[in-house]
Structure formats: C-alpha cells, structure tokens
Amino acid sequence: MIDAISFSNGTLRYLDQRFLPPQENYVETRSHMEAIEAIKTLAVRGAPLIGVAAGYTVVLGLQSFNGTKEEFPAYFDRLIADVEASRPTAVNLFFATARMKEVYAGNYTQDTMEVLFGKMLATAISIHNDEIANCDAMARHGVELIRQDLGHILKERRLTVLTHCNTGTLATGGSGTALGVIKHAWNEGLIEKVITAESRPLLQGLRLTAWELEQENIPFFSISDSSSAFLMQKGMIDFGIVGADRIAANGDTANKIGTCAHAISAHYHNIPFYIAAPVSTLDITIQSGKEIPIEERNADELRTIFGTQVATPTTPVINYAFDVTPNRFIRGIVTEKKAVTGNYSEELKKLID
C-alpha cells in the first residue's frame, strides 16, 4: 500500500519521491518551511497531491504561530503567500489555499485561535479526503468514456494505453487521476498493457509510474518521450491519457512537458487522447492556455541526471516544467463529476457553476 502523504498529531509525513524507486524515504516534519521546500523541490509532486500538501502546510504554519490574535492576520497573509509561491502552475495549490482563506475570513472574528485552527485542520483533512473520493469517481467516468469511444476495439481485444509523467497515488493520495482510470480499466479487463513515457528531465514516468504499476502487477513497458509517435504509427497504442496541472476555460491544458507532443501525434493518427483531472484543476478565470503561467526550473535538472553531469555546466538550457496542449488535440476531459467531450468552454463552466 502506497502512503504518499498523511498528517497525524501535528506532523506531516510524506514519501520523498526524488529517491524512488531505489529508496523509499519517508520524511516527517512539523515545519511549514520544510514542507514548502518539499513542494518546491518535487519531493512532493503531482497537482492534486500538491493541493493536499498545501492544506497541511498551512496547518503546520498555524502551529508555529505564537503571537497575539491581533498579530495573526499579517502572519496568516505571509504564510499563504509563502505557500502559494512554492509552485506557480498547479492550480490545485491555489484551490487549497483559497479554501483555507475562506475558513479564516468566515471565522476569525468570532472564534478563539484554538477553534479557528481546529477548523483549518478539518478543512485540510477534507481536502485530502475529497481528492481520494474524486479519484474513485474519475476512474468510473473514465472507464465509461473508454468503453464508449473504443468499444469497437474492445470487441476484438484489450487495449494498450500511453501515459506520461505520474498521475497515480504518488500524485494524488488516492488511486490517481489518469493512472487511476488506467488501474480501474485494468481491473475491468479493458487494458492489456500500459506504455509509460519516461518524462524527462526528472523521469517521473520511468521512475514513479513504472514503480506504481509494478506495485499493482499491471503489465507495462517504458519508452523514451520521443518514441510515442513511432509506436502510434506502428499501431501499438490505442489511446493516451494524462493528468493536468491547470485547465483553462476553453479546455487548453497545462501538463508535464512533453504532453503536447504526444497529443499532437495522437491527433494525427486518429487516436483518442484524454485528460483526467479533478474539477479543482479547472481555472475558468483563464480563457486559454496562453494565459497559464509556465514554471521554468533550474537548468541543472537537464544538465545532470541524479548528480551525474551529462553536459558542461555552461551549456545554455531552457527547462520548462510544463507545456500547454490546445483543446483541439484533446478528445475528452474526465473529472469526478463527468467526462466532457465537446464544447469545453460551456461544459467545463457548468462543472463549477
């Protein structure tokens, strides 16, 4: 049983994903600054799990407060700002901090600090439990969509699916978003094997998704990110499904760098390409993917592989963590409420209204 994150007795416990699969290192901390650093350094990663971690990180920050009630508003504002600065692209983080801010705004005046903190802890736990439930609902809707779109193939054989990065328990705390759909489809007898793209530069697909699939005893093989178009050309991939860090109002989707290339190749080969993400990933304040802030990370993530230098330290590097897949390359967006397959601008808004 994978335990990606938990909170008990004022302590946050998480599996440091930077060291998987060779080492399963669990870290315990009561420091909100250490928790923020874990999010920044990808020790904790995956949009939904970042949201869960953000809620618990705010709670850790509250535990560290030792001032007066009058001093608390300024402290709380700084705490929220520090948490929100940790990762700019994953909207789930901001969804979590928004919920914590709502609790503060609605209860600060009348509650004692102890009662207020208790309500915030309950909210952080609720965010975590919601993500677990969302994964289960998403899996059901995803399998329904697969049956609907690929039923003609399923009459003859089981399917081979491509996925990118990691979207399972390690990214959500539940069964997963895209990988949760895949696991459910496997249990339903729809999947023959999974193809996981390596997901350079940090190899989340090769390290993390492969490790999760091994834990679940689901057949798979890993490929280089640049191999997917050739495999589609050879008829070795039936559909693709990935997660998302932010989805714009029109359905344009930001996800791990490399996703857009897979989606364009799938579109060219008339292969369905799906997104699976909770409603908390939708950002209807952003009209298109052009407005999504894209994180650019340290160049050494590309110049080195697990501490081994593979390029000179002076090699110029552009290291974007995400790309944006335009909505025309996406066959459907699966959420915990329903799967949307057309007119994203209207249908996605309905999920929030």
User: Does residue 1 have a pLDDT over 80?
Assistant: no
Tell which residue, 29, 320, 286, 322, has the closest CA to residue 38.
29
Tell me what pLDDT residue 47 has: 85
Mean pLDDT in residue range 240-251 = 96
**What is the band of 89 on the pLDDT scale with cuts at 50, 70, 90?**
confident
Q: Two tokens at 153? A: 């193939």
5-130 placed in CATH 1.20.120.420 = yes
**What is the band of 91 on the pLDDT scale with cuts at 50, 70, 90?**
confident
**What is the band of 92 on the pLDDT scale with cuts at 50, 70, 90?**
confident
Q: Which CATH superfamily includes the segment(s) 136-352?
A: Translation initiation factor eif-2b; domain 2 (3.40.50.10470)
Binding-site annotation: residue ranges for substrate: 45-47, 87, 204, 255-256
Question: Strand 5-8 vs strand 11-16: parallel, antiparallel, or unpaired?
Answer: antiparallel
**What is the band of 352 on the pLDDT scale with cuts at 50, 70, 90?**
confident
Tell me what pLDDT residue 173 has: 86
Tell me what pLDDT residue 260 has: 98
Q: Which three-class secondary structure state does DSSP give residue 51?
A: helix
User: Does residue 218 have a pLDDT over 90?
Assistant: yes
Tell me what pLDDT residue 74 has: 96
Same fold, 5-130 and 136-352: no
**Quick one: residue 270, left, alpha or beta (phi over 0 = left, psi -120 to 50 = alpha)?**
left
Q: How far apart are CA 330 and CA 266, in angstroms?
A: 9
CA 66, 69, 71, 73 torsion: positive or negative?
positive
Instruction: Report yes or no: 1 and 15 within 8 Å, Cβ to Cβ.
Output: no
Find out whether the peptide bond into 201 is cis, omega within 30 degrees of 0: yes
**What is the band of 2 on the pLDDT scale with cuts at 50, 70, 90?**
confident
**What is the band of 222 on the pLDDT scale with cuts at 50, 70, 90?**
very high
Helix spans in 111-173 (H)? 113-154, 169-172
What pTM, to 2 d.p., does this model score? 0.89
Mean pLDDT in residue range 26-54 = 95
Binding-site annotation: residue ranges: 45-47, 87, 204, 255-256
Mean pLDDT in residue range 331-338 = 97
User: Does residue 225 have a pLDDT over 90?
Assistant: yes
pLDDT digits (tens, 9 = 90+) for 141-157: 999 999 999 999 999 99
User: Does residue 274 have a pLDDT over 90?
Assistant: yes
Would you kindly state where each structural domain of the chain is located, as residue ranges? 5-130, 136-352
User: Does residue 90 have a pLDDT over 80?
Assistant: no
Q: How far apart are CA 177 and CA 41, in angstroms?
A: 22
Tell me what pLDDT residue 215 has: 92
Q: How far apart are CA 252 and CA 291, in angstroms?
A: 10
Tell me what pLDDT residue 147 has: 97
Residue in the structure block whose two tokens are 């060219």: 268
Mean pLDDT in residue range 299-324 = 94
Tell me what percent of the residues of the chain surpass a pLDDT of 90: 93
**What is the band of 211 on the pLDDT scale with cuts at 50, 70, 90?**
very high
User: Does residue 353 have a pLDDT over 90?
Assistant: no
Tell me what pLDDT residue 276 has: 97
Active-site positions? Answer: 245
Q: How far apart are CA 305 and CA 328, in angstroms?
A: 34
Q: How far apart are CA 52 and CA 5, in angstroms?
A: 8
